[in-house]
Amino acid sequence: MGEFKTMLENAGVPQLYIGMFAMWAAALAAHSLDKDDEALTMLLGRKPTSVCEFLKQIYS
Protein backbone atom coordinates (compact mmCIF):
# COMPACT_ATOMS: atom_id res chain seq x y z
CA MET A 1 0.00 0.00 0.00
CA GLY A 2 2.96 2.30 0.62
CA GLU A 3 3.94 2.16 -3.06
CA PHE A 4 0.41 3.16 -4.06
CA LYS A 5 0.45 6.13 -1.67
CA THR A 6 3.85 7.23 -2.99
CA MET A 7 2.57 7.02 -6.56
CA LEU A 8 -0.39 9.23 -5.65
CA GLU A 9 1.86 11.73 -3.85
CA ASN A 10 4.19 11.90 -6.86
CA ALA A 11 1.17 12.53 -9.09
CA GLY A 12 0.26 15.55 -6.95
CA VAL A 13 -2.87 14.09 -5.36
CA PRO A 14 -3.76 16.01 -2.15
CA GLN A 15 -3.14 14.14 1.12
CA LEU A 16 -6.85 14.28 1.96
CA TYR A 17 -7.61 12.11 -1.06
CA ILE A 18 -4.61 9.81 -0.75
CA GLY A 19 -5.95 8.35 2.48
CA MET A 20 -9.39 7.91 0.97
CA PHE A 21 -8.03 6.24 -2.18
CA ALA A 22 -5.76 3.99 -0.11
CA MET A 23 -8.67 2.80 2.02
CA TRP A 24 -10.75 2.20 -1.13
CA ALA A 25 -7.90 0.19 -2.69
CA ALA A 26 -7.48 -1.87 0.48
CA ALA A 27 -11.22 -2.65 0.54
CA LEU A 28 -11.11 -3.70 -3.12
CA ALA A 29 -8.08 -5.93 -2.49
CA ALA A 30 -9.86 -7.56 0.47
CA HIS A 31 -13.02 -8.08 -1.65
CA SER A 32 -14.98 -6.15 0.98
CA LEU A 33 -17.02 -4.44 -1.74
CA ASP A 34 -18.09 -7.67 -3.43
CA LYS A 35 -21.14 -8.12 -1.24
CA ASP A 36 -24.72 -7.83 -2.42
CA ASP A 37 -26.68 -5.15 -0.64
CA GLU A 38 -30.39 -4.39 -0.94
CA ALA A 39 -30.06 -0.78 0.29
CA LEU A 40 -30.33 0.77 -3.18
CA THR A 41 -33.30 -1.43 -4.06
CA MET A 42 -35.03 -0.35 -0.85
CA LEU A 43 -34.21 3.32 -1.48
CA LEU A 44 -35.45 3.27 -5.09
CA GLY A 45 -38.40 0.99 -4.46
CA ARG A 46 -37.33 -1.09 -7.47
CA LYS A 47 -34.39 -3.12 -8.70
CA PRO A 48 -31.58 -0.80 -9.84
CA THR A 49 -30.63 -0.75 -13.51
CA SER A 50 -27.41 -2.63 -14.24
CA VAL A 51 -24.55 -0.88 -16.00
CA CYS A 52 -25.10 -3.13 -19.03
CA GLU A 53 -28.82 -2.28 -19.16
CA PHE A 54 -28.09 1.43 -18.75
CA LEU A 55 -25.55 1.47 -21.58
CA LYS A 56 -27.96 -0.40 -23.86
CA GLN A 57 -30.67 2.17 -23.14
CA ILE A 58 -28.37 5.11 -23.78
CA TYR A 59 -26.50 3.84 -26.83
CA SER A 60 -29.11 1.70 -28.61
Torsion, CA 20, CA 25, CA 27, CA 30, rounded to 10: -160
Whole-number Å distance between alpha carbons of 9 and 58: 37
User: Per residue of the chain (60 residues), what is the pLDDT tens digit?
Assistant: 789 999 999 999 999 999 999 999 999 999 988 888 899 999 999 999 989 999 999 998
Q: Which residues have CB under 8 Å from 15's CB, separation 6+?
A: 9
pLDDT of residue 1: 76
The model carries a pTM of 0.55
